[in-house]
Structure 1
Amino acid sequence: MTTIADARHLYQHIMENLSDPRTQNWFMVRSPAPILLSVGVYLYLVKMGPIWMKSRKAYDLKNTMIIYNICMVLLSLYMFYETLVAAWFNPDFSKACQPVDYSNNPQSLRIANVIWVYYISKLVEFLDTAFFVLRKKSNQITFLHVYHHASMPLWYWLGAKFVPGGESYLVVSLNSFIHIIMYTYYLLAAFGPSMQKYLWWKKYMTKLQLMQFAWFILHSVQVMYIGCGFPRAYMVCQFIFALSQLVLFMNFYLQTYRNQNEIKKAKTS
């Protein structure tokens, strides 16, 4: 019983004393239960969705996907703009190592807000997988796809709960920029085969994603080395998480484009 009581006391201490009081009552932030349940439901549907669709006709979601991708481009533009104003163009914000400002300073609240919006956007992105399931494109639901979509909301719940500011801005900023490009690509692709000739740049989009994760890794090392009051444990975890993403995306890049090059060589030989 003592062990259970100690664990409960530790949990309450972490949730109440180590979290940011500014975001405590924001939607989907107070407790880890809603986000854990959301990710659990997501993983269950990833498992069961293709089974349910096996005997059903694929849905035609062209118009839905066009609207969705437009919304995601606009949302990504908004988040990228907010990080530009609140961090990149803010002379008082250190680009080398910035601690979290837990005050109600307007710029600090602006960063906290965009970090929360980014966290919620990761839940919205579950629809990426839902569209694959409903369109019977289960071959695109890879381990990389599921790992990325399931882990990002969990990671940025931690950001919104404990460190909604400081160094947390970088992932939001760079990833939002990448998503502007990515969802623009998906938007064009949603219009059908007539747009294929304009989608030659997918390979370079993947390269940008790899550069993004490399930047996260190097910047995490820099922050851990410099030290500015931002939680080192969070940066260590970010380093490991970004490294796992880099390895998986690199494997995807090599498997996809190496195979394409081999097919081209086989056709010309």
Structure 2
Amino acid sequence: MELSAFLMYYLVSQPAIRNFTWIPNLTPASSFQFPLITVACYLCIIFLLTRVFRLRLPPSILKPITALYDTVILFLSFIMALGCTLSTMSHAPDLHWIICFPPNTPPSGPVFFWAYVFYLSKILEFFDTLLILLSDSIHRFTLLHVSHHAIVIPMCYVWLWTSQSLFPVVLVTNASVHVLMYAYYLLCALGVHPKWKRFVTSCQIAQFRASFGALALMLGYHVFGPGCSGVWGWILNLLFYAWLLFHFLSFREQAYKSKSE
């Protein structure tokens, strides 16, 4: 079997992917309460580990665990970016569809399957915080870090709940940036310290800036066309990206100001 045919089958046409349908309260993790309870548990665990237990692991134990975790997230991010790209290319009737789903689009098919995987992967990324706390790297434990992880879960839930337009672009972009970011983290965990940390931050900022342009384009399609599915989710995304962009710009200015002076 050729590589392209292999990838198309296992990332797009495999029956579980092709026939996927998001059904609230039936699909695992699809109840309205699930993201709220998940985020509440995440915040409770943070409170316990910072105020009560203060567990720490020695580097000899923590570094192999961190390297394994970074490898898993790197590989998963690559698969999600590739799977969603192939699914979008094979199912989009035109370029307009990539930006603006028709109103009342059902959350089913390969593209929404990868949105579901992306949603669940954000729960796995809670381990970012756990590894930071276990390493006692308090300088990495910031409000931006915690709030980003807490907000992204309900945001991805809204993607599926509203069949939100534009999410394939956001998913592929975010997952691709995560491939670069976790490759950097993996090398650091292995004792190699690449000199492209600033480039990773710049890619994250570029991602959020590009998202504003895509969101504006979607709004134009919605207002001047027949409408786009999931416009309420668009509002949540707009606020989320604006908040992230502000904090990442602040982080870049503080982190690299001294180096440029």
TM range (shorter): 0.7 to 0.9
1:231–1:33 distance in 2 versus 1, CA, 3 Å: closer
Partner of 1:214: 209
The answer as to whether partners of 2:84 and 2:168 remain within 8 angstroms in 1 is yes
The answer as to whether partners of 2:67 and 2:189 remain within 8 angstroms in 1 is yes
**TM (normalized to structure 1)?**
0.79
Identity of aligned residues (%): 22
In structure 1, C-alpha distance between the alignment counterparts of 2:53 and 2:174, rounded to whole Å: 32
The answer as to whether partners of 2:71 and 2:186 remain within 8 angstroms in 1 is yes
The DSSP-based 3-state class of the residue aligned with 2:27 is coil
Residue deviations 1:120-155 (CA, integer Å, cap 9, x gap): 000000000000111111221101111111111110
1:66–1:46 distance in 2 versus 1, CA, 3 Å: same
In structure 1, C-alpha distance between the alignment counterparts of 2:252 and 2:113, rounded to whole Å: 34
Shift of 1:53: 4.8
Residue deviations 1:163-182 (CA, integer Å, cap 9, x gap): 1x642212111000000001
Alignment of 1:82 onto 2:83 = yes
In structure 1, C-alpha distance between the alignment counterparts of 2:248 and 2:22, rounded to whole Å: 35
Partner of 1:254: 253
In structure 2, C-alpha distance between the alignment counterparts of 1:235 and 1:84, rounded to whole Å: 21
Amino acid at match of 1:209: Q
Alignment of 1:143 onto 2:139 = no
Number of residue pairs matched by the alignment: 233
**TM (normalized to structure 2)?**
0.82
1:250–1:88 distance in 2 versus 1, CA, 3 Å: farther
Flag the structure with larger Rg: 1
The answer as to whether partners of 2:218 and 2:228 remain within 8 angstroms in 1 is no
Where do 1:5-20 residues align within 5 Å? none
The answer as to whether partners of 1:87 and 1:93 remain within 8 angstroms in 2 is no
RMSD over aligned Cα atoms: 2.2
In structure 2, C-alpha distance between the alignment counterparts of 1:57 and 1:240, rounded to whole Å: 36
Amino acid at match of 1:169: P
Where do 1:41-190 residues align within 5 Å? 41-54=41-54, 57-59=56-58, 60-88=61-89, 92-95=93-96, 97-99=99-101, 102=105, 109-163=109-163, 166-190=165-189
- What are structure 1's unaligned runs of at least 5 residues? 1-19, 263-269
The answer as to whether partners of 1:167 and 1:230 remain within 8 angstroms in 2 is no
